[in-house]
Structure 1
Amino acid sequence: MQLLSRSLLLSCALLTLSASAAPKRDDGQRFAVIGHSFISGGEEHLKAAIAETSEKSLAFVVVAGIKGVQEGCVDKLYQQRRELIDNARRPMVVLPAASDWTECKNSAGRSNAIERLARLRELFYAEQQSLGEKKIALTRQSMSPRFRSYAENAHWEVGKVLYATINLPSNNNHYLPAAGRNSEYEDRLVANRFWLNRLFAIARSDKVEAIVLFSEGDLKPFSEPTGLRALLRRAPAGHDGFAEPRRQVLALAQKFAGKVLLVDSAGLPKGAKPGIEWRGNVGHLSVGPGALEVRVQTNGEPKFAVKDAAD
């Protein structure tokens, strides 16, 4: 009897040791993206998308754009949208869209883009944290003395993943074809070049397993020809405002051991559902105008799975 008791105790001790030594289950993380929601429905569409992304299990929500082209570029509307987003339950990271600033005009019909971008920065990007009732800390590019204006570019980490936003508006990255009118584009090109280099340096230093980069505009990462096709390609008919950041991201991704997922709010073909396309370690996801949820599994090689936030 005494031997049996000792045997039972030894078995229990071994089971306890085995359980404690087993690797902990990685339940992963989830985030949501609200694509540019102002093609139709305006503020009601945005409200519905925010409601769809209010679950406690979501680590954060990225909002791509605050207004539509047909809506006014006025402070009152900007303030209303800030309050709407700031009252959301989850941490909300706002990404500027082309319709928020690049297409704004003053009373004389002239471009008011630079002034409106400055106002957006004051209202949405002045703090080192997200909007929403629950905040997360953000590191903004404006913390660098050389790039104090570029507060909309931000990064944060969740687990083994580095997330970041970059200001690449959908209308050809706000490249203006008229000569002598591209100072904003050229200055932002320099800032974004520095930002991308910085992000990949942080990713290597922190030993993260994946980078997720959010932009409004579609970089079209798989349109860049390689090999013989690159040598034989014809010059493009017009200037591609995304060419330099696209090439830089692809070059940096080649030297990065983890995965790089590019997320934008470009529209989808009729009837198509959002999905991630992978080529090597680079993935591309266009969200479209709705709310989308992404699950990230980081136990082993990072895996990303997509579903509609409303499902």
Structure 2
Amino acid sequence: MKRKFQYVLGLLAVLAGVASAQPVSFGLFGDMPYSHWEREHLPELINEMDRENLAFVVHDGDIKNGGSVCSDEVLHDILGVFQASKTPLVYVPGDNEWTDCHRKSNGGYDPLERLAKLRELFFGGETTLGQRTLALERQSRDPAFASYRENVRWEAGGALFVGLNLPGSENNYHGTTFRGGPVPEFVARSAANRVWLAQAFARARAKKLAGILIVIQADPEFENANVGHPQPGYREFLTQLQQETQAFAGRVVLVHGDTHLQQINQPMRDPVSKQVVENFTRVETFGYPFFGWVKATVDVTDPQVFRFSPRPWRATAP
């Protein structure tokens, strides 16, 4: 009871400190396009978001399905779709476009070469994608993490938004071997992610921001972690996220895709009491065979800070 009372007092102090921020609406989508039908209709979905007068939209990874080729042509095609967005567009990479590209059906690419190509094409500038852009802060500004251009952050509506390269296929923990691990790429990127996440929470606390919204591609499997069996590729991330969340007075949201099950819930549990961590929410975006997006709003005058409204289109054609 005492801890909950302290949390409420802290939240009220945060809200008072950012009360002048105006509400901001934004869009969340990902795990698309997976099929010819989805590729055909993706511009229409983006146009729908454009008509909502959103501040920005975020794609949380997987710009192709897991069995299709990872060619430059495919990447250029999706880049063109993203650049046509009239709304600033932030993209966070998924496993289908780099960690899984070694598969024969994907063209037998070197995953690290594909990640380098993604960084070159999608993360080369200092702004979002789209016809109208927003400035982004990239982790690559730090010489110690110069490669990690895809890790980004920006502020809007009294909240901090953070993008991390943390994809499915167990976060590339095993590399292409599916045994052993962790591979060097995972170790290096995880170190970068830990620093980026810690800096984000430190900034939000220092500025008394009302909330943090973090975007990754992978489902980090809270359910396994809650019963003491986290997947190795997500163990450190989940531990850090839980500790930082419980030390933060505002609201924390994790947005991800990966399992294609659109859901909004509170899966984080305190490791000792096993009680729900009340200031944490998970939002998963739509994925094949369902097509749609989630409209979100950050409003620091709202005790919840973040609100979400799923906007399904329909089940995609076979």
User: TM-score, normalized by length of structure 1?
Assistant: 0.81
User: What does 1:131-150 align with in structure 2 at a 5 Å threshold?
Assistant: 131-150=129-148
CA distance in 1, matches of 2:142, 2:22: 35
Cα deviation code 1:65-103 (max 9, x no counterpart): 322223321112211211210111100001101101111
Which position in structure 2 is the counterpart of 1:275? 264
Letter in 2 for 1:87: A
User: What does 1:1-311 align with in structure 2 at a 5 Å threshold?
Assistant: 28-40=23-35, 41-65=37-61, 66-105=63-102, 112-176=110-174, 177-179=178-180, 182-221=183-222, 223-225=224-226, 233=228, 236=229, 239-269=231-261, 274-277=263-266, 279-289=277-287, 290-309=292-311
Deviation, 1:223, is 4.8
Deviation, 1:262, is 0.5
| SS in structure 1 of the partner of residue 263 of structure 2 | coil
Letter in 2 for 1:277: Q
Deviation, 1:268, is 4.9
Cα pair distance change 1:261/1:61, threshold 3 Å: same
Gaps of 5+ in 1: 1-23
Aligned residues of 1:260 and 1:281 also touching (Cα < 8 A): yes
CA distance in 1, matches of 2:41, 2:109: 27
Structure of higher CA gyration radius: 1
Cα deviation code 1:244-276 (max 9, x no counterpart): 10110110111111111001013355xxx5324
Which position in structure 2 is the counterpart of 1:10? none
Deviation, 1:218, is 1.4
* Residue range with higher mean Cα deviation, 145-154 or 100-109: 100-109
After TM superposition, what 4+ stretches of structure 1 lie above 4 angstroms from structure 2?
A: 24-27, 106-111
CA distance in 1, matches of 2:48, 2:310: 9
CA distance in 2, matches of 1:191, 1:141: 8
Aligned residues of 2:31 and 2:260 also touching (Cα < 8 A): no
Letter in 1 for 2:193: N
Aligned residues of 2:138 and 2:150 also touching (Cα < 8 A): yes
Aligned residues of 2:71 and 2:107 also touching (Cα < 8 A): no
Letter in 1 for 2:241: V
Cα deviation code 1:102-129 (max 9, x no counterpart): 1113889755100000010011101110
Gaps of 5+ in 2: 1-18, 268-276, 314-318
Aligned residues of 2:70 and 2:107 also touching (Cα < 8 A): no
Deviation, 1:219, is 2.3
Cα deviation code 1:198-240 (max 9, x no counterpart): 1111111222110000011012346534xxx7xxx5xx4x953
| SS in structure 1 of the partner of residue 198 of structure 2 | helix
Aligned length: 276
CA distance in 2, matches of 1:222, 1:203: 27
Which position in structure 1 is the counterpart of 2:15? none
Letter in 2 for 1:72: V
